[in-house]
A and B are shown apart, each in its own frame.
Chain A
Amino acid sequence: MENMEKVKKFSETVSLIKAELRKDVVGQNEIVDNVIIAIIAGGNVLLEGVPGVGKTRLVRSLGRTLSLPFSRIQFTPDLMPSDVTGTNVIEKDATGKMVSSFRKGPIFANLVLADEINRATPKTQSAMLEVMQEHKITVGNDRYDLEEPFFVLATENPIEQDGTYPLPEAQMDRFVFKLIMKFPSDEELVDIVNMTQITLDENAQAVVDGPTILEMRQLASQVPVIDDVVKYAVKLVSNTHAELEKSPDCTKKYIKYGASPRAAQALITCAKVRALINGNFNVSYEDIEALARPVLRHRIKINYTAVNEKLTVDDVIDLLVKETKKK
């Protein structure tokens, strides 16, 4: 019965997080669900959307909901790596002696909002690589561990590309999901307008702490996955590689380069969380297919043929899923 209690608590916690987020974020249900999955799975999320759709608000509300140290970094072209990670400064100690001490940057938090991450220079963006993958920071000769749980939720604007620096593939791969926030429907827009007439403050309350998140992650990792489903996820990822002989025709036709092995890891890890959130105790093919778009869309690059045929990355991923399922 202890197991059942854990599962029950898991479901209740997810429901509470969703409920709190809905106080500040109107609509965007799929985005909210996937952000929660990524948080529990311990992955970083890249949110893409036009200005004003609520990217930053969502992340801020999440920070409030999780009751974790939260910091926000507004990425600009003049932002330096040390502005993110922190730096050694020379200062006087209590005795008046000059000493060198490390002053932590905003990255030392549990939840980091990297706002408009593509506006920083590649040098600054690269400073995030080690942090996002290893949850450690190296400054000078010293390495600092970040407190768990640690997540980076970055946002970027798909338009206004002047003065931006597209994220390198290596960094893109560090994001478990890339989520596209669509423009709200008319009904949702009415709710947003009405909500902001009352107050611009965020109302979400803290409902879950760091240790609970870690417990949930641990529970989700135990969800069983049969070999066939693992093979399906692996096949889906390997099918994104046009250079492989057995890749399907749509891959050879539309994909320039494919996803890394991290994509397969992300698919299985996140599918476990998704299964548990939906009340299932095992991972199914459906879980893998549901997560294929957010996991793969920033990891594969479509070629000119696809663009010419007016296909988006998501369209190509749908074709891939169909082809992989057929085989």
Chain B
Amino acid sequence: MMGESFKRFKKKYVLDAVIKAILTGICAVLLVVATFLIVTTLKKLDFNMVYAVLTGVAFGLLLGLGTFFVLKPNDKKLAKKLDNTYGLREKIQTMHAFLDDDGDIKLLQREDAIKILDSKPTNMLGLLKGLVAFFVALVICAAYLVTAIVVAFKSEENTPTHDPGDDTQQGGEDDEDEEFTPTDHQRIALEALIQEVEKSNMQADVKANVLSELNVLLSELDNLRMQSQMKEYVVGVIKAVRAHVNGASSTFKVHMLAKDNSNSSIKKLSLALYSLNMSVIETEFVSISSGLFVLGGSKDDIADFNDELGAIIRNSGLGEEDGLYGVLKALNDSLTLIVERTYTDENILSKIDEAFNRTAIGELKKIIPQEKVNNDVKDRVVSELMRIFGITEDDIKEKTDENDDFETTEPEDRPEVGEDGGYGAGGNIFGSDDIVIDKDKEPAGNVDNINVQYGEVIANYESKITEMLRNGEISEELAEILRKYYSVLITPQGGQN
């Protein structure tokens, strides 16, 4: 009834649907397998690829069948397709719609439609043109699979083998999938660390907190199953220890507030306090007080410095009972008096020296040692935990995000102080604008050497002043004041007052 041509076209389009369905199914299989491969490689999951292939085949079958049923044309859809493809002015659709009607014109219409359809070619070339997009998709999917296979092989080649004899469980990210079993060595080392902390002179409340963290870690060791789990837990303990110690550190609080201050003298002050090294503090205080004194015009600089210092005292969160609060407040009050009252240059110099190098230093000597002990114990605990459990700085950085409390981290510019004073390993340089103290020039922990260097600093200052006096750059009135100042500072022992 519909004519041989129509049947021919129908066969062609069914074949077209079958080929497209097969291509779609193959694409689906390739996509699923490649995606499984990529995901298991990147996430380092242990997954049997046979299941991936089976899943892909099932998915491909479903998608292929779905595609076939969507694309397989019924007579009505085929008639519309033929009309549109060959521009037949709805002839085929009309023929199909009025198949059961043998009216006069309808018969003529049918004959006309069949005749025009007979004249249209049904070669395979047209079929192939429509399939180009499907073949391109197949090539892309195949390329995706090849890429996934290459990535998987590369990843396998780069995976290092684990040394089972390494008790400290050293290793990077590649070990994270391995199981973790605490060794006796680790347990003993951790217990020794706990005892060491117990015996230390750490501030009592801070010590209690640190011990609590370490004891919990010891008790939890057996519950940690995987390397990644262990690392995460130990890094958590390290961060907690840092938080306890830094939270109780007045110098830390002041430094965190003042380290980015626009006033360079305030920055020096903060950095000196943060070093927890009395020698450094004394050197820097001389430098700061000398820097603040300017002949005939000290008050502006002192006022600026004092304003910033006042702001830091108010905003640092230090309580009135805090020792450092008392030191800084006294310094602040003394400088306020200097600014408010009318003093000669000689008196200003004397008052500054009194405030910085006598009163403040004297009080700091009572505070700094305890904070230094706390800090040393913290550093010891952190380094030991890292050694025992094979934690690297990168592990800690990786597990630290911007939401963490700032106290859990160590500021990058923190000067690392040797166990018994001086400058230890690190890249920090301290000093005034004129004199630079480079840690590379002095070995770590040598307090005596630092004292000698301070003497050199003072001597350097004095020689410059002497040269200026000789050249007549300073008036006689001020020359006398300066001579007295340096005679007070420099003692026959070569130290400082």
Chain A residues at the B interface, C-beta cutoff of 8 Å: 2-4, 6-7, 219, 222-229, 276, 280-286
Contact = CB atoms under 8 A, between A and B. Distances in A.
A247 B97 CA distance: 29
A118 B362 CA distance: 116
Interface in B57-111: 89-91, 93-94, 97-98, 101, 103-109
Residue of A225, A226, A228, A280 ringed by the most chain B CB atoms within 10 A:
A226
17 contacts: A2-B104, A3-B105, A3-B108, A4-B108, A7-B105, A222-B103, A222-B106, A224-B97, A225-B94, A226-B90, A227-B97, A281-B94, A281-B106, A282-B91, A282-B109, A284-B91, A285-B89
A4 B105 CA distance: 9
Contacts of B98: 224
Contacts of A6: 104
Nearest to B107: A3
A228 B105 contact: no
A286 B98 CA distance: 20
A282 B108 CA distance: 10
Taking residues whose C-beta sits less than 8 angstroms from the other chain, chain B's interface range is: 10 to 19
Given A281-B112, A284-B89, A286-B89, A226 B94 contact: yes
A228 B89 CA distance: 12
B109 A281 contact: yes
Contact of A285 (B90, B103, B112): B90
Interface string B402-436: 00000000000000000000000000000000000
Contacts of B91: 280-282, 284
B410 to A, nearest CB: 65
Interface of B: 89-91, 93-94, 97-98, 101, 103-109, 112-113
Contacts of B103: 222, 224
B108 A7 contact: yes
A298 B89 CA distance: 28
Nearest to B111: A281
Contact of A223 (B89, B101, B105): B105
Contacts of A285: 89-90
Nearest to A279: B112
A226 to B, nearest CB: 5
Contacts of B105: 3, 7, 219, 222-224, 276, 281
Nearest to A280: B89
A281 B108 contact: yes
A27 B309 CA distance: 101
B104 A224 contact: no
A28 to B, nearest CB: 26
A224 B109 CA distance: 8
Q: Name the 6 nearest CB pairs between A and B, nearest first.
A: A281-B109, A282-B94, A284-B89, A3-B104, A222-B105, A284-B90
Given A283-B90, A284-B90, A285-B90, A226 B97 contact: yes
Given A281-B112, A282-B109, A284-B89, A222 B94 contact: no
B97 to A, nearest CB: 5
Contacts of A222: 103-106
Contacts of A283: 90, 94
Nearest to A228: B93
A283 B94 CA distance: 8
Contact of B94 (A7, A224, A286): A224
A220 to B, nearest CB: 9
Contacts of B90: 226, 228-229, 282-285
Contacts of B93: 226, 228
Contacts of B108: 3-4, 7, 281
Contacts of A3: 104-105, 107-108
A276 B103 CA distance: 15
Contacts of B97: 224, 226-227
A230 B107 CA distance: 20
